[in-house]
Amino acid sequence: MTVNRALFDEVMVPNYSPSAVIPVRGQGSRVWDQSGREFVDFAGGIAVNCLGHCHPALVNALKEQGEKIWHLSNVMTNEPALRLAKKLVDATFADKVYFANSGAEANEAALKLARRWALDNFGAHKSQIIAFNKGFHGRTFFTVTVGGQAAYSDGFGPKPGDVYHVDYNDLSAVEALISDNTCAVMMEPLQGEGGIVSPEAEFVKGVRELCDKHNALLIFDEVQTGVGRTGELYAYQGVGVTPDILTSAKALGGGFPIGAMLTTTAIAQHLKVGTHGSTYGGNPLACAVAEAAFDTVNTPEVLDGVKAKAELFKSLLNDINTKYNVFSEIRGKGLLIGAVVSDAYKGKAKDFLTTGIEEGVMSLVAGADVVRFTPSLVIPEADIREGMARFEKAVAKVVAAN
């Protein structure tokens, strides 16, 4: 069988439009395609590959668990799930953990829990959910509705109701909308898909206070920011505000699909037996790999290293920008970095991505105007410099073609 990009068009549903490049092997922050061409990976599978490709700790965990037990369903529990849950609880505000397969599923669980908590404690009137324009929380119908991008949620029929959106960092808009009918406010502690937008300190603090005033839950979607991405284990620890519910996925498994919802005992009790579930949630293979990823990331060396690598990344991007003047701002936190294109390149962020592939470097976009970088948290300095040298060549080509 010939496996190439044309086969995708033949056999796959056309909701994706992947590159012609088909990677077949990865090691650390380098990837090789079918023809043996090498790429420096600054994309990290969209903030998933927190330890790069084929990290020994993750490979060993998968091999060891693969020789033990693969799947049980939640009729029974398993040792890797219990160990991972204990470590998550010990390292965060949370008392209880629910495992799923993805960020969308973790967010779906968080939203269902918030609605059930409000119904049990206050009654059916308390169902309003407030979220933020340009937010992103997944692709289930509930989560894509709560995400503040109509392009993703329109066209599928009637949407789940009582969901409202305001602008991120606009505390007065939240204050004007929130009431005793609000059951939850859901937000990213740094908007990812919406353009790598950091929250103002007073905004996050103010949202927490408004939630407390109106007996509403604060849900932090840390699917992209969690597990070391910002230089903290979870981003909430760096903004000084503790949510009531937190969701985690992407980097949690280092590339193996897993999601988690974390919350307190008092809130968790409202998901009684039978109210929610997941066939694969808490799968032993996933939890074993995630435990190895968690143990590796949750160290001062790695977390402090993220902050140091972020400074180098931003410095090199600024050096490129000094030469070519293509970005209006370099923003983000830790190794979740956004380069905002200048007016001359507005709407053309993807040009930098596609030209980067030609030059042997993988990056991402966050909307039409932001080039996004989410590399391995342990990427060596040499790979950062080599990848940026390749990215500079891509920038030069885009400038020449513009």
Active site residue 136: yes
On whether 139 is known to bind a ligand per the annotation, the reply is yes
C-alpha distances in Å from residue 100, one per residue of 81, 103, 161, 178, 260: 11, 8, 24, 30, 6
Measured between its terminal Cα atoms, the distance across the chain in Å is 40
Say whether 149 counts as a known binding-site residue. Answer: no
Is position 250 annotated as part of the catalytic site?
yes
Ligand-binding annotation for 327, yes or no, is: no
Residue 278 in marked binding region: yes
Q: Is 99 annotated as a binding residue?
A: no
Catalytic (active site) residue 351: no
Our CA angle for 277, 85, 73, nearest 5°, is 35
Q: Phi/psi zone of residue 140: left (φ > 0), alpha (ψ -120 to 50 degrees), beta?
A: beta
Q: Is 37 annotated as a binding residue?
A: no
Options 136, 142, 220, 352, the catalytic residue: 136
**336 - beta bridge partners?**
333
CA 125 to chain centre: 32
Taking CA atoms, 400 is separated from 68, 156, 317, in Å, by 56, 42, 18
| C-alpha–C-alpha distance, residues 6 and 4, integer Å | 5
- Out of 41, 221, 351, 369, the active site residue is 221
- For helices 349-358 and 381-401, the axis angle rounded to 10 degrees is 120
Question: Is position 103 annotated in a ligand binding site?
Answer: yes
Any binding-site annotation on 222? yes
Give the residue from 309, 326, 253 showing the smallest Cα distance to 65. Answer: 253
Q: Name the token pair of 85.
A: 């849950």
Largest Cα–Cα separation, the chain: 62
Q: Which pair of tokens denotes residue 335?
A: 């190794």
Tokens 């996925």 label which residue?
249
- From 250, 333, 352, 369, the catalytic residue: 250
223 annotated to a ligand binding site = yes
**Residue positions forming the annotated binding site for N(2)-acetyl-L-ornithine:** 139, 278
Catalytic residues: 136, 221, 250
**Residue positions forming the annotated binding site for pyridoxal 5'-phosphate:** 103-104, 136, 221-224, 279
